[in-house]
Amino acid sequence: MSDIIKLLPDHVANQIAAGEVVQRPASVVKELLENAIDAGATQVQLIVKNAGKTLVQVIDNGKGMSMTDARMAFERHATSKISNADDLFNLHTKGFRGEALASVAAVSQISVKSKRQEDDLGTLLEIEGSKVTKQEPVVSSQGTMISVRNLFYNVPARRKFLKSDQVELRNITDEFHRVAMVHPEVAMSFSHNDNSLFNLIKSTHRQRIVSIMGGKTNEKLVPVEEETELMSIKGYIGKPEFARKTRGLQYFFVNGRFIKHNYLNHAVLSAFDGLLKEKSNPAYFLYLTVPRDSVDINIHPTKTEVKFDDEHSLYAILRASVKHALGQFTINSIDFHQEKQYEVPYEVAKNKTSNSPRIEVDPDFNPFQQEKSNVSNTRTQSFQKPAAAPWESLYAGIEESSKLIDESEKEQVTSSMFEKHEVEQRNIFQLQRKFVISTLSSGLLVVNQQRAHERVLYEKLLRQLTVQNGVSQQLLFPIKLNLPAEEVSILLQLQDELEHTGFLFKSLHDNVVEIEGLPLELKEKDVPSVLEAVIAKEQEDVPEYSYSPADGLAQTMAASMSIKTGEALTKEAMENLVDELFACKEPEITASGKKIFINLSGDSLNSKFN
């Protein structure tokens, strides 16, 4: 019987490794940007086309590579960053693993142009599917330019699993933000399909955060700084009043590398205990420095998940540091100073004598005598009616007749309303500000007010999105919101659909959103929360929905705009809600499948007393 175990060819092994390392275009962006930083670049350009599916290009002014290094960089397990196994636990650089560039080359067409400062000529290298097709000297400036074209061109099964351009571009933008925030000393730019998205100059950490997230972010940040033997913490947290429902503004960096860590995230949230609204998430941009031998960054191919030696101590330190920063912010926000107009210099006050107040009394004052005279005057006036002026005679009798008309109309309206109330009497009331209870001939109807309103709004919004005839209420003064550029781009993509629901946008650019019209059911104060929910839903990295995008948008907006539990309703509002619910096509359940109402029959109530 022949042997069945075989050694895989290199190109097959590289494609398998690519499945672990290169998950999407954002993975390539992360690798190339971090390699540029490791090369000592002070200027880095990221150029992307078709959300990275067609082109990902990174240009830097780093130290460059020799001809041999350029060739060796694309071999498996070839790296300049470690020399033995112990170096894995003392990393000072970034990047994926030794097979990263080899994996990228296995599933794309790569062109590399690089030159060192001491060389007269640079190197041009072209690779297609792990095979080198060209290598020659070329005139080039110092640094490296790597172009990755047609990602997964030779693995069509993998390419079809890539998501829409909007989703892939969002992931690329996230990777760009993560690298840019931790390296403010590097000027970085990002363009997509020849449109410049970011152009970041050298700056401080705070300036870099503000330039990415928008100018209004600066006033929302509270500095955090703590130095201990186990860990040093620097960075910023968002003020509690600016907490959001989304978790998009939460960044941990450990030793200059972005990480995700649920345990440390809980430490920050616990520090905000009692300061946040329900289901709100604070913003934070925290840079942690720990001994390199106390953290393992190799437990995940992308190195975004790490393991610490003493997580409990780090948790306590981080929680205490954030609490301390919040405490200082609270104290600094209290004004202990008097207003300047009330301040009296001590030199003036010490020589100034105060005058005692004087009380003056009229000994001849007799209140009873004055009251008596007033009464006599009143009696005299009651028998004497002054003559009406000529212009007053024109209106004589009108006031009395109008009063009679008003009284008769009120009596008629009250009478008609009373008769109607007798004919169409409905017993309806609210329980715990959550349920609307109405009597029926057969028993009781119990309606969940939030779910009922959500169903009503969902069908109304879906109808407007389908026929594209949303009604809008014009605002006297436009609403201006400052959002991160990434979130503004999401609203720009959804602009047509949102306008079909009744939104009217005056402008959508950079970090500013101006709204001059709203859907009829939406209140001005709820606009930020509704748009925040729409953006959060769009940002969720989930499989494609079985329903249409319009359906998903209608669900999200209806859930955000609906009456919430705890809101008091008038009798008229409760009656209208019940009537509108049973006018819906499917009044029994919400769009997400939750039950809206139940019927309690008389028999079921009787059974409770057996």
- Residue 245 is part of a domain; what is its CATH number? 3.30.230.10
* Closest alpha carbon to 186 in 213, 159, 205, 210: 205
Pick 158 or 408 by higher pLDDT: 158
Does the residue 343 lie in any domain?
no
Given pLDDT bands bounded at 50, 70 and 90, which one contains residue 94?
low
Answer whether 173's CB lies under 8 Å from 487's CB.
no
pLDDT at 451: 93
User: Residue 264 has which token pair?
Assistant: 């440390």
Are 24 and 101 part of one and the same domain?
Answer: yes
Q: What is the DSSP string of 204-231?
A: -HHHHHHHHH-GGGGGGEEEEEEE-SS-
Answer whether 501's CB lies under 8 Å from 545's CB.
no
Q: How far apart are CA 287 and CA 274, in angstroms?
A: 25
Please identify, among 150, 172, 202, the residue that sits at the C-terminal boundary of a domain: 202
Answer whether 168's CB lies under 8 Å from 52's CB.
yes
pLDDT of residue 39 exceeding 70, the answer is: yes
pLDDT of residue 415 exceeding 50, the answer is: no
User: Residue 206 has which token pair?
Assistant: 């705070």
Percentage of residues in the chain with pLDDT exceeding 70? 77
As a whole number of Å, the CA-based R_g of the chain is: 36
Answer whether 81's CB lies under 8 Å from 95's CB.
yes
Answer whether 172's CB lies under 8 Å from 149's CB.
no
Given pLDDT bands bounded at 50, 70 and 90, which one contains residue 448?
very high
pLDDT at 93: 59
* β pairing state of 284-289 and 250-254: parallel
Answer whether 268's CB lies under 8 Å from 236's CB.
no
Does the residue 555 lie in any domain?
yes
Does the residue 386 lie in any domain?
no
Does the residue 59 lie in any domain?
yes
pLDDT of residue 158 exceeding 50, the answer is: yes
Are 137 and 186 part of one and the same domain?
Answer: yes
Pick 367 or 461 by higher pLDDT: 461
* Closest alpha carbon to 232 in 298, 294, 303: 294
Are 128 and 223 part of one and the same domain?
Answer: no
Residues 480-491 pLDDT 10s: 888 887 788 888
Does the residue 268 lie in any domain?
yes
Pick 416 or 28 by higher pLDDT: 28
Are 554 and 460 part of one and the same domain?
Answer: yes
Are 442 and 534 part of one and the same domain?
Answer: yes
pLDDT at 48: 96
Given pLDDT bands bounded at 50, 70 and 90, which one contains residue 353?
low
Residue 525: give its domain's CATH number.
3.30.1370.100
Listed in sequence order, the residues at least 6 apart from 13 whose beta carbon sits closer than 8 Å to its beta carbon are 76
Looking at residue 461, its amino acid is L
Counted residue by residue, the chain has a size of 610
pLDDT of residue 546 exceeding 60, the answer is: no
Please identify, among 306, 330, 354, the residue that sits at the C-terminal boundary of a domain: 330
Are 93 and 144 part of one and the same domain?
Answer: yes
Q: How many domains does the chain divide into?
A: 3
| Side-chain half-sphere CA neighbours of 494 within 13 A | 28
Are 239 and 313 part of one and the same domain?
Answer: yes
Residues 173-203 pLDDT 10s: 999 999 999 999 999 999 999 888 899 999 9
Percentage of residues in the chain with pLDDT exceeding 90? 31
Kindly state the average pLDDT of the residues 29-46.
Answer: 92
Listed in sequence order, the residues at least 6 apart from 437 whose beta carbon sits closer than 8 Å to its beta carbon are 428, 429, 430, 431, 444, 445, 446, 447
Are 180 and 221 part of one and the same domain?
Answer: no
> For residue 59, which phi and psi values (nearest 5 degrees)?
-120, 125
pLDDT of residue 545 exceeding 50, the answer is: no
Given pLDDT bands bounded at 50, 70 and 90, which one contains residue 543?
very low
User: Residue 44 has which token pair?
Assistant: 């880095």
Residue 148: give its domain's CATH number.
3.30.565.10
* DSSP letter (8 states) at residue 22: -
Are 473 and 512 part of one and the same domain?
Answer: yes
Given pLDDT bands bounded at 50, 70 and 90, which one contains residue 472?
confident
Are 110 and 242 part of one and the same domain?
Answer: no
Q: Which has the minimum average pLDDT: 117-126, 129-138, 538-547, 549-558?
A: 538-547
Does the residue 361 lie in any domain?
no
Does the residue 264 lie in any domain?
yes
Listed in sequence order, the residues at least 6 apart from 15 whose beta carbon sits closer than 8 Å to its beta carbon are 103, 106, 107, 155
Pick 604 or 549 by higher pLDDT: 604
Q: How far is CA 319 from CA 312, 322, 324, in A?
A: 11, 5, 9
Are 121 and 96 part of one and the same domain?
Answer: yes
Arithmetic mean of pLDDT over the chain: 80
Q: How far apart are CA 117 and CA 66, in angstroms?
A: 10
Does the residue 594 lie in any domain?
yes
Are 220 and 187 part of one and the same domain?
Answer: no
Residue-number span of the structural domain to which 289 is assigned = 207-330
Kindly state the average pLDDT of the residues 434-443.
Answer: 86
Please identify, among 147, 182, 202, the residue that sits at the C-terminal boundary of a domain: 202
Q: Which has the minimum average pLDDT: 88-97, 114-123, 194-203, 427-436?
A: 88-97
